Amino acid sequence: MSLFDYKLSDLQEMLHKKEISVNDLLDEAYNRISEVDGDVKAFITLNEETARARAKELDELRGTPEGRGLLFGMPIGVKDNIVTKGLRTTAASQILDNLTDPLYDATVVQKLDAAEAINVGKLNMDEFAMGSSNENSSYYATRNPWNTDYVPGGSSGGSAAAVAAGEVPFSLGSDTGGSIRQPAAYCGVVGLKPTYGRVSRFGLIAFASSLDQIGPLTRTVEDNAYILETIAGLDQMDSTSADIEVPKYTEALTGDVKGLKIAVPKEYLAEGVSDEVKEAVQKALKVYEDMGATWDEVTLPHSKYALSTYYLLSSSEASANLARFDGVRYGRRSPNAENMLDMFKLSRSEGFGDEVKRRIMLGTFALSSGYYDAYYKKAQQARTLIKKDFDDVLADYDVIIGPTTPTPAFKVGEKTEDPLTMYANDILTIPVNLAGVPGISVPCGFSGEGLPIGLQIIGKHFDEATVYRAAHAYEQATDFHTQKPSLGGAK
């Protein structure tokens, strides 16, 4: 049995009773990484020397009043688009391959440090968070621990795979159109996208600023609640962070959902959703019925426009955000340039991968004179209608429930030649980002091939507490979260 099979609260108790040490937890992490990461490829950069030094400091504080951080001694992995002072941060792109010594920590990293967590290393991802399979990393594709012939999802595929493989007990990812929830579903872990503005984006390398959110990936809902409690809150460095009190989310985990009103959008169980996924969701709804909750079928009529709306808006924002990578200030500068214009062109063409270039071109086109009203403005209008659909439904219901993804994970290489088919994997998660509401994915079953299936629970703005309550009750009534891949032998 791995130490990481214990809940965060149990590990904390063991630490303070001096039954284990912080260094024991790091041994567990780095030994497991050494054992399986050659197959999983979840990490880009390890932080072992600094982590060991920090563990030594924290071990001396065990059982003292000073050693009472909410995440005291907990090893955690951080997605590689979240800036870490003095630790290489690449966003899995060659254009940032030489960014080995960033000058500051992202706000979430500062909060983890204040809570006395330890950063084990930086996790693989789709380049600049653009992708649904982790195959767009400029380094190597992360593999699904349940079956390494399959993708782990994306763009936070490294974050999900590392938790599923037992390399770390928790990780941070970012979610622009499903990039936490989709890989959480594919890898059989718990992943939350908070309400837009709940967690500071300062230090998150921007993809689409009106959609990006940082969130936690964990083995259990309770652990997830602890992590969000740590990283959430107002930040003066991020004008989009909300000045709304952060509750103690763990207090919402009562296991009681009697009287909970659930909405099930018919669009989320329509054509394109596999029979296995539909069946798993229907069984989950029966579990909720048995616990005293009620559900009704509803409609989110503008969801059919979500995919095209998202790719127009996110690509437009990416076109603007990625303009800063020009070979002048930091990052890759082409050695082949003969003049200034060549430097701009070659640094970007050599540094960016195909998917990033594709989205920059789409976004630049959508923002160009003569096409702005036809594409970008219309997409913003559609986004307003999509948000209104969610507001209308959530005015009458506590949560919305459906599948996280239309199918379980697909094979590595299966969809790389067809970007439009790849984009469709996010069709059930994208509307949540457009509406800005919170959503979580929890394991709810397995496919015939033994691959995990995820249940998505969506809540009202800044009501993560109810989302956690619903997710925790379901988790406690089932055993899917206790099952683990056999990669590298049972752990």
**Which residues are the active-site residues?**
79, 155, 179
CB 417 within 8 A of CB 433: no
What tokens does 371 get?
């096409």
SS3 of 258, please? coil
| C-alpha span between 49 and 52 (Å, rounded) | 5
Task: Write the Ramachandran bin of 468: left for phi over 0, alpha for psi from -120 to 50, otherwise beta.
Answer: alpha
- List the end-to-end C-alpha distance of the chain, in Å, as a whole number: 5
Judged on CB neighbours under 10 Å (0-12, 13-18, 19+), 245 is exposed
Q: Which helix (H) or strand (E) is 386 found in, with range?
A: helix 378-394
Question: Backbone phi, then psi, for 53, in 5-degree steps?
Answer: -65, -40
| C-alpha span between 402 and 63 (Å, rounded) | 44
Q: What is the DSSP letter of 150?
A: B
Residues 6+ apart with CB under 8 A from 418: none
Residues 6+ apart with CB under 8 A from 431: 300, 303, 306, 386, 389, 390
| C-alpha span between 422 and 417 (Å, rounded) | 9
Instruction: Give the residue among 209, 203, 249, 205 at the shortest CA–CA distance from 440.
Output: 249
Instruction: Give the residue among 398, 391, 376, 421 at the shortest CA–CA distance from 468.
Output: 398
| C-alpha span between 249 and 475 (Å, rounded) | 16
Question: Backbone phi, then psi, for 402, in 5-degree steps?
Answer: -170, -175
152: amino acid identity, one letter = P
Kindly write down the DSSP assignment for every residue of 342-357, as one continuous string.
HHHHHHHHHHS-HHHH
